[in-house]
């Protein structure tokens, strides 16, 4: 079922500037890659080849038209979306901008047990990215990672939900647990 993915807003009549109908905002390490791969297979949905566009966090200095060009290949009948887990911790100003751009936007938030999420995040950063064996990583490195403000912020689901609900009503926010 894709009923929660309805509504379309065009920023201009030019199809290269169509804003997405839905955003997957996270949480990080909570199944967003699985969701992306499965949604891309659905014929009524369009998601760009790149899972994480990072417009609202890393590339916000670029134009909205740059962002919307990622959706130019969508068929007129398809619902457009993207998934960037870092969007869950956007500032209230950016969430407000997103809402002003498309107040009918649907939001998808997958959650995971915060301890499991933090552990998976630490493994990604300390083991996979550094290409080290887990047994070579000191406990202090893991503890520092867990206590880092970014790790804590990504697991503060109450704040994340509260920030997004400040601008989007509950019926536009789809929240599910990662199992």
Neighbours of 145 (CB within 10 A): 18
Looking at residue 146, its pLDDT comes to 95
Model confidence over 70-99: pLDDT tens digits? 999 999 999 999 999 999 999 999 999 999
Mean pLDDT of all residues in 116-129: 93
Contact between 86 and 38 under an 8 Å Cβ cutoff? The reply is no
Position 4 scores a pLDDT of: 34
pLDDT digit string (tens) for 16-67? Answer: 348 999 999 999 999 999 999 999 999 999 999 999 999 999 999 999 999 9
What does the pLDDT read at residue 18?
84
What separation in angstroms does the CA of 106 have from each of 33, 70, 109, 171?
Answer: 18, 18, 10, 9
Q: pTM score, two decimals?
A: 0.87
- Mean pLDDT for 153-171 is 97
Unique residue bearing structure tokens 């550094």: 130
Q: pLDDT tens digits for 108-121?
A: 999 999 999 999 99
């Amino acid at each position: 079922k894709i009923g929660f993915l309805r509504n379309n807003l065009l920023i201009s009549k030019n199809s290269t500037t169509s804003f997405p109908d839905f955003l997957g905002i996270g949480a990080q390490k909570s199944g967003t890659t699985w969701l992306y791969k499965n949604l891309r297979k659905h014929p009524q949905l369009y998601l760009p080849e790149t899972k994480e566009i990072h417009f609202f966090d890393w590339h916000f200095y670029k134009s909205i038209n740059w962002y919307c060009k990622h959706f130019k290949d969508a068929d007129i009948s398809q619902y457009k979306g993207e998934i960037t887990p870092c969007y869950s911790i956007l500032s209230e100003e950016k969430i407000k901008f997103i809402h002003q751009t498309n107040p009918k936007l649907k939001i998808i938030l997958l959650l995971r047990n915060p301890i499991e999420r933090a552990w998976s995040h630490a493994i990604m950063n300390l083991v996979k990215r550094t290409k080290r064996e887990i047994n070579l990583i000191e406990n202090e490195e893991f503890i520092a990672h867990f206590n880092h403000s970014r790790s804590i912020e990504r697991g503060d689901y109450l704040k994340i939900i509260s920030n997004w609900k400040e601008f989007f009503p509950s019926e536009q926010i789809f929240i599910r647990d990662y199992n």
